């Protein structure tokens, strides 16, 4: 652990005080950024009291992980520095740097001064502001064996400490799938049993976000979401077939509800973390944009290119295509060899209803932002929040009801 020298004077260049210091003085790092070789062993950082020395002053310090990890790259340290009345001698903190032979990039950690007592202040213009002051320590890898591979490590963004940490996190998330926290009740146990296969599958298939900058986690999460969407679509189609529902009705109810649950959860998290609904609306509209432009546009483009280049590969297929689309005026004459056709159906009516409901939703949010004093866009006064929730749920039921009535010819 760190050792503190309480009376050793350190010779250093004078650095001007950037803010007006009170009589108790200003506490700061001698250097806000320092470089230390991995093989150096013990590294010393200095803390100054300048601009005044009236009264006793104390300040806490602690190391904080960044790309360098305590216990792997350095020995974590924490403690308290103290100055007596009239004492302005610079104090030292000794931090042990751990040397190893593993291939690593240059890494860094920070040392934070906090909880300043005695009337002294921090320099608010430095890193950390007025509440604390932060020094960054960069550990440079000077191993001879690692020197030849440093450039390759930088290109591949590989760090063995992060790999070790990610492996520990991976095992922990798998163990977490088997854990249960909460009251023991039949309802809780039943819900836990139902979600256990999903928890275990996600814990195994999705690596922790600390691995390789989170790229594997992002890619595998997208793969799992795509797999879940495929399963929900197939199950919903089978359910709609057994219940005798039209495909368009199944699409806007079971399929849409199931595939939109991840978006709903993401929007809930965004709403809890923000004071406005901007990120929640951005998440939903962004998801819809991907569904429409990418999910529909790419398959339609591929099918249109195929039909334009190859056409029907058999005369029986072409005759079947002609019989299927004989009711569309001018289509057979314009495309004698066939083409990829998508019937509009009731899409236009559904889009009009959806757009109207979306405008009503935006209007409600704008009213809650600017029409109420104080603004209560998210949360706020309980009756208004419940009324807004009921109104938005009503809009969803209205959209489903009108679209269903149009599909069955009632409208």
Give the pLDDT score at 47: 92
At 155, the pLDDT band (50, 70, 90 cuts) reads low
Peptide linkage before 211 cis (omega within 30 of 0): no
Residue 331 maps to a domain = no
Q: What is the pLDDT of residues 5-46, one digit of tens each?
A: 433 433 333 455 545 678 888 899 988 899 888 878 888 899
Q: Do both 165 and 140 map to the same domain?
A: no
Taken in order 221, 223, 224, 225, the sign of the CA dihedral is positive
Residue 392 maps to a domain = yes
At 274, the pLDDT band (50, 70, 90 cuts) reads confident
Residue 325 maps to a domain = no
Q: What is the pLDDT of residues 164-177, one digit of tens each?
A: 677 777 888 888 87
Q: What Å distances lie between residue 356 and 5, 362, 363, 375, CA to CA?
A: 71, 10, 11, 24
Q: What is the pLDDT of residues 376-409, one digit of tens each?
A: 888 778 888 889 899 999 999 999 899 888 888 8
Residue 100 maps to a domain = yes
Query: Residue 64: helix, strand or coil by DSSP?
Result: strand
Q: What is the pLDDT of residues 237-261, one digit of tens each?
A: 788 788 888 877 887 877 777 777 7
Q: Do both 105 and 206 map to the same domain?
A: no
Residue 142 maps to a domain = yes
Give the pLDDT score at 130: 81
Nearest to 70 by CA among 161, 158, 153, 154: 161
Give the pLDDT score at 13: 39
At 101, the pLDDT band (50, 70, 90 cuts) reads low
Where helices occur in 245-377 by DSSP H, the ranges are: 247-250, 256-273, 278-289, 297-309, 315-324, 331-334, 347-370
Q: Do both 118 and 258 map to the same domain?
A: no
190-211 mean pLDDT: 81
Nearest to 14 by CA among 55, 48, 62, 58: 48
Burial (0-12, 13-18, 19+ Cβ within 10 Å), 35: middle
Q: What is the pLDDT of residues 103-133, one digit of tens each?
A: 567 788 999 999 999 888 988 888 888 888 9
The answer to whether 114 and 78 are in contact (CB under 8 A) is no
Q: Do both 84 and 181 map to the same domain?
A: no
282-289 mean pLDDT: 83
Q: How many CA atoms lie within 13 A of 163 on its CB side?
A: 10
Question: At residue 3, does pLDDT exceed 50?
Answer: no
Q: Do both 126 and 177 map to the same domain?
A: no
Residue 235 maps to a domain = no
Last residue of a domain, one of 107, 125, 147: 147
Give the pLDDT score at 142: 65
Q: Do both 262 and 169 map to the same domain?
A: no
- 389: part of which helix (H) or strand (E)? helix 382-407
Can you give the residue range of the structural domain that contains 364?
A: 245-309+344-407
Domain count, the chain: 3
Q: Do both 277 and 356 map to the same domain?
A: yes
CA distance 58 to 47: 12
pTM of the prediction?
0.50
């Amino acid at each position: 652990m760190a050792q503190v020298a309480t009376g050793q004077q350190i010779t250093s260049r004078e650095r001007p005080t950037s803010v007006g210091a009170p009589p108790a003085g200003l506490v700061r790092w001698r250097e806000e950024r320092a470089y230390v070789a991995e093989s150096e062993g013990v590294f010393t950082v200095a803390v100054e009291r300048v601009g005044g020395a009236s009264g006793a002053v104390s300040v806490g310090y602690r190391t904080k992980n960044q790309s360098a990890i305590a216990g792997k790259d350095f020995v974590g340290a924490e403690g308290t520095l103290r100055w007596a009345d009239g004492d302005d001698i610079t104090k030292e903190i000794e931090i042990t740097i751990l040397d190893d032979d593993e291939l690593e990039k240059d890494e860094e950690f920070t040392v934070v001064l906090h909880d300043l007592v005695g009337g002294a202040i921090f320099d608010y213009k430095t890193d950390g502001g007025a509440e604390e002051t932060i020094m960054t320590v960069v550990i440079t890898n000077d191993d001879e064996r690692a020197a030849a591979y440093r450039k390759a490590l930088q290109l591949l963004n590989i760090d063995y400490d992060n790999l070790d940490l990610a492996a520990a996190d991976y095992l922990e998330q798998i163990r977490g799938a088997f854990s249960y926290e909460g009251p023991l009740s039949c309802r809780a146990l039943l819900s836990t049993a139902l979600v256990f296969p999903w928890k275990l599958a996600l814990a195994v298939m999705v690596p922790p976000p600390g691995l390789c900058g989170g790229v594997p986690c992002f890619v595998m999460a997208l793969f799992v979401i795509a797999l879940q969407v495929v399963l929900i679509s197939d199950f919903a189609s089978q359910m709609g077939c057994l219940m005798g529902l039209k495909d368009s009705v199944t699409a806007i109810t079971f399929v849409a509800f199931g595939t939109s649950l991840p978006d709903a959860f993401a929007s809930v998290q965004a709403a809890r973390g923000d004071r406005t609904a901007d990120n929640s609306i951005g998440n939903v509209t962004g998801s819809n944009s991907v569904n429409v432009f990418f999910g529909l546009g790419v398959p339609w483009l591929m099918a249109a290119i195929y039909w334009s280049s190859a056409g029907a590969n058999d005369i029986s297929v072409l005759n079947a295509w002609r019989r299927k689309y004989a009711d569309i005026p001018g289509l057979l004459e314009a495309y004698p060899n066939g083409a990829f056709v998508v019937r509009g159906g009731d899409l236009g009516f559904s889009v009009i209803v959806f757009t109207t409901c979306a405008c009503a939703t935006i209007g409600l949010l704008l009213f809650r932002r600017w029409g109420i004093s104080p603004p209560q866009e998210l949360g706020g006064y309980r009756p208004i929040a419940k009324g807004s929730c009921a109104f938005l749920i009503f809009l969803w039921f209205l959209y489903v009801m009108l679209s269903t009535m149009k599909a069955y010819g009632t409208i």
